[in-house]
Amino acid sequence: DVKVTQSSRYLVKRTGEKVFLECVQDMDHENMFWYRQDPGLGLRLIYFSYDVKMKEKGDIPEGYSVSREKKERFSLILESASTNQTSMYLCASSFLGQKVYEQYFGPGTRLTVT
């Protein structure tokens, strides 16, 4: 059974703080993704990575950075948190190959920036 875990379920941070969100998967997936989910906007891709130390921008990368030092771990970094980054953050992983593979999601981190 695929397992994707996220370091925190709920997080409250102050404006200007540096925030780290961690994600770990145990299925040896090549691809890892960070999304944010907001009401009326669905899931929007922030960054993804298809290999260690590789990263690609998604649709809304501004204000975020990522790190992938190990295959199983993908971190999302908010360099200076702002109130408009209050959201549900979802990590996902999938195999990489010639066909499209479904993504497996973690439980999410509800981040509130005050």
The answer to the question of residue 108 lying near another protein (CB under 8 A) is yes
The answer to the question of residue 58 lying near another protein (CB under 8 A) is yes
Which residue reads 């379920």 in tokens? 9
Segment 77-106, which members bind another protein (CB under 8 A)?
A: 90, 92, 94, 96, 98-106
The answer to the question of residue 53 lying near another protein (CB under 8 A) is no
Segment 24-43, which members bind another protein (CB under 8 A)?
A: 31, 33, 35, 40-43
The answer to the question of residue 20 lying near another protein (CB under 8 A) is no
Query: Which residue in 107, 102, 111 sits closest to 23, CA to CA?
Result: 107
Please give the size of the binding site for another protein, defined by CB under 8 A.
Answer: 31
Nearer CB in complex with another protein: 44/73:
44
Secondary structure class of 42 (helix, strand, coil): strand
DSSP state letters, 3-17: -EEES-SEEEE-TT-
Give the count of beta carbons closer than 10 Å to the beta carbon of residue 37: 14
The answer to the question of residue 1 lying near another protein (CB under 8 A) is no
On whether the CB atoms of residues 4 and 103 are closer than 8 A, the answer is no
On whether the CB atoms of residues 92 and 4 are closer than 8 A, the answer is yes
Q: Which residues bind another protein (CB under 8 A)?
A: 4, 9, 31, 33, 35, 40-45, 48, 50, 56, 58, 90, 92, 94, 96, 98-108, 110
